[in-house]
Structure 1
Amino acid sequence: MQNLLDGIRVLDFTRVFAGPAATQVLGDLGADVVKIEPPAGDEARYYGVSAEQLAELGMSPSFIALNRNKRSISLDMRNPQGKALAKRLALSSDVIVSNFRPGVMERLGLGYDELSSENPRLIQAEFTAYGRTGDLSEVGANDLALQAYSGLISVTGEPGRPPVRCGTAVIDMHGSLALVAGILAAILHRWKTGRGQRVDSSLLMSAAHLLGHFYTEYWMTGIERKPMGTANHLTVPNQAFPALDGEVVIIASTDEQWRRCAHALDAATLDVPEFARVFDRQQNREALVEALSAVTRKLTTTELVRRLGKEKVVVAKVNSVGEAASSPQLAAIGGRVILEQQGKHVPTVASPFHMSEFDLRHARPAPALGQDTHAILADYGLDPVEIGRIVMSGALGETASTGTD
């Protein structure tokens, strides 16, 4: 079955998290994604692993998780031949994706204005930290820095405690899907008009989107929310509660949901006038949380999930990462993909959506550094003599001489 983006060439200069996550989705949709890496490789190849683990796996789990369905070429952009080759590949591509600071692609001779003058159908997508304009546009940053700058950290954690980062790179991953949306919109626009365009996204815009209701409330009322642990300032109960063997999250936002919650657990204690209406529950938040906690801590997580689920109250056990990754429900929705990596079965997470008219492609594991160099150059029209000259120039780094592909 044909994939949606079959025939679309994506030249991927991105590294670490947000950019690779975006280009992986494009690869899942069928695009031919060529990952341009420096001779030392994307640094995420080595993140979070010991030397022994790296020797066994060949690359880090974080790299494996975000780089399937890509081919890798090692390219030294400091080498004049490397820069010239990058431009040649770029002009023969449909989409270019990068996550450098603003101006870096221009200094490499790969800026949108220069390339689009030669190929007006080209789509160039850039993911930066703070955007392309403004005083901070040239300041580098990562997910944690934007969690801090955006105010996300200020509403995360327990009241009266030091700031707490989110447990995953939430801004990176949210931003990656925004970047995908922009690229797909640009491809659709090109199909309609024949013209390419530049797509800009950033960690800052991703963070602002995540915090949209907080910002809107501040702009309208001046209220700045503070951290509430797992609680939510919008409704109560809407947080984690203790159980005999762990914790569960319980959410009963409406009066009817609260009534069902109370009757499922202890109507005599919970179905009382001071908790009856949404405004009552907000006003008596501390008393409600204390009363509900006194009930839940006497029951197991399984019993709480059973009772509340039966009454259609939103409830979930607080799982560990291992419990969640091993859950039958994740497997049931096709959330895990098994790929061959260095002769071993390696599970990774699928793209976060499915399509009814075609299957997403989950066929190719994350590549070794420079694994596909010669095949890529041949596919882009270089003959063996040209490839040999480029190899001899040192533009491809040491991996090109190993014959890995």
Structure 2
Amino acid sequence: MEPFEGIRVVELAVAVQGPGAGGLLAGLGADVIKVEPPGGEANRWYRSVRNPTSDAAPGTQFLGVNAGKRSLSLDIHTDLGREVIDRLIAGADVLLSNYREPALERMGVGYEALHARHPRLIYAVASGYGHLGPWRQHRMSDSFAQARSGISSVTGHPGDAPVIPGAIVGDTAGSMALALGILTALFERERHGIGQKVSTSAYGALLWMQSWEINHSSVTGHVLRREGAFHTASPQMTGLYETADGGAFCIGIRDDESWRAFCEFGHTPELAVDPRWDTARKRNPASGLPRASEEEFDDVCLRLRPAIAAVMRRRRTDEWADFFELHPDGIIAQRVFDYADVLADEQARANGYIVEKEIPHVGRRAVVGEPVQLSETPGSPKVLFAEHGEHTAEIMRALGFDAAAIAEVEAQRAPGTGRWPA
């Protein structure tokens, strides 16, 4: 049994923010129909660095957010294309898009017109910066939303230039916000019988993700800045530290006994008895009352952290891993994984976060799975992606179109020529 079995979603979307929301819904069992132009969604064939796969293989960004969907290749700007999309939307529960709203209006699928004809339809649109305000129609890709949101200003090392995080956190956060908005609107429709417009944005999602850091800057008047391997609003010892052979751990030491063991294992027993840091409270001055002084905070940030970094560099990664295994309660430690480690991680595989799937034109590979698991309605494994236009005939037949109309639409397909919507 699928949690969202019987819910149909029409997806007019590109890249990650829109398709990611559709992918989350498909993972929960919704019938998501991805409407692609005759050239296919542009990201279907997008090639980034070091990608030796064949031209027939999907782009890796496309691969991550389009599992479980059906693909309909359609030119919405033709009379026949408009008729197909009209019939499709008439039987849908959700229209999902991250196209700019003027583009949706030109396609004949603007909110006002559709809401008048289909009052139960959930009309969900993700934008770059929000549906109101002077930037409501500005184009956006992930790094631009990161730059505007402030997250780049707190990423990197003090004195260095701001850094764009190494993953597309804006688009993915935006897709989760859009999926949440859709689920909320569907629940509201169950209670009151009405559809409505859902508006989310990557910018808004990034601000919500940084609510602690942004609110801290407002409440205290102290605008947070880059702190390198440490959290920008948390002046304590916890953070990332390198080992002797170039590995790294995120560590936090909870009690004094573990602190002494850590210092002794790192060949610096004198650090354990240094009166500046010989209690957990001194090492983590942000915790509890009475409030620590600015001098105590500076002592941790400017002197204790470098001292711990020196300790960590005295041992190899495997030595530290063995040591931390002996102190699971007193020391929280996690080795910094790269993506090869993540793909092989038994914890990720046990929870279905990483799964093995057959990728057409590539072979069997480990890929990211679903982030949500339900105990009673877990759903079923999803096909990783549909070929461009794979379900066009099937969908059009179900909508009542004859063979001639189907042939006309399929003849328009020109894979690999897809463009970004205007």
User: Is the shorter-chain TM-score for this pair beyond 0.5, marking a shared fold?
Assistant: yes
Match of 1:91 in 2: 90
Determine if the alignment matches structure 1 residue 238 to structure 2 residue 234. Answer: no
Determine if the alignment matches structure 1 residue 348 to structure 2 residue 348. Answer: no
Which structure 2 residues correspond to residues 40-189 of structure 1 after superposition, within 5 A?
A: 40-49=39-48, 53-55=52-54, 58-189=57-188
Match of 2:307 in 1: 291
Contact 1:73 1:372 in 2 (8 A): yes
Match of 1:282 in 2: 297
Tell me how far apart the structure 2 counterparts of residues 190 and 395 of structure 1 sit (CA, whole Å): 39
Tell me how far apart the structure 2 counterparts of residues 38 and 126 of structure 1 sit (CA, whole Å): 18
Answer with 307-316 or 214-223: which moved more. Answer: 307-316
One of 385, 397, 412 as aligned partner of 1:366: 385
Q: What's the CA shift for 1:303?
A: 2.7
Q: Which amino acid is the alignment partner of residue 351 of structure 2?
A: I
SS at match of 1:55: coil
Match of 2:259 in 1: 261
Q: Which amino acid is the alignment partner of residue 363 of structure 1?
A: K
Q: 1:25 to 1:82 in 2, by over 3 A?
A: same
Q: 1:294 to 1:218 in 2, by over 3 A?
A: closer
Q: Which amino acid is the alignment partner of residue 274 of structure 2?
A: V
Q: What's the CA shift for 1:99?
A: 0.2
Q: What's the CA shift for 1:51?
A: 11
Give the percent of matched residue pairs that are identical in Structure 1 and Structure 2: 28
Determine if the alignment matches structure 1 residue 389 to structure 2 residue 388. Answer: no
One of 312, 326, 331 as aligned partner of 1:310: 326
Match of 1:403 in 2: none
Tell me how far apart the structure 2 counterparts of residues 57 and 128 of structure 1 sit (CA, whole Å): 30
TM-score by length of 2: 0.87
Q: Which runs of 5 or more structure 2 residues have no equivalent in the other structure? A: 286-291, 416-422
SS at match of 1:72: strand
Q: Which amino acid is the alignment partner of residue 77 of structure 2?
A: R
Tell me how far apart the structure 2 counterparts of residues 61 and 50 of structure 1 sit (CA, whole Å): 10
> Could you list the per-position Cα deviations for residues 371-397 of structure 1 after superposition, in whole angstroms to 9, with x for gaps in the alignment?
110011123x22324xx2354367853
Contact 1:10 1:32 in 2 (8 A): yes
Tell me how far apart the structure 2 counterparts of residues 197 and 171 of structure 1 sit (CA, whole Å): 25
Tell me how far apart the structure 2 counterparts of residues 352 and 140 of structure 1 sit (CA, whole Å): 29
One of 272, 290, 294 as aligned partner of 2:274: 272
Contact 1:75 1:395 in 2 (8 A): no
> Could you list the per-position Cα deviations for residues 3-25 of structure 1 after superposition, in whole angstroms to 9, with x for gaps in the alignment?
11101111011111121111111
Contact 1:28 1:351 in 2 (8 A): yes
Q: What's the CA shift for 1:119?
A: 1.5
Contact 2:7 2:30 in 1 (8 A): yes
RMSD of aligned alpha carbons: 2.3
Q: 1:207 to 1:66 in 2, by over 3 A?
A: same
Contact 1:18 1:176 in 2 (8 A): yes
TM-score by length of 1: 0.90
SS at match of 1:187: helix
Q: Which runs of 5 or more structure 1 residues have no equivalent in the other structure? A: 400-405
Tell me how far apart the structure 2 counterparts of residues 201 and 82 of structure 1 sit (CA, whole Å): 28
Q: What's the CA shift for 1:90?
A: 1.4
Tell me how far apart the structure 2 counterparts of residues 77 and 395 of structure 1 sit (CA, whole Å): 14
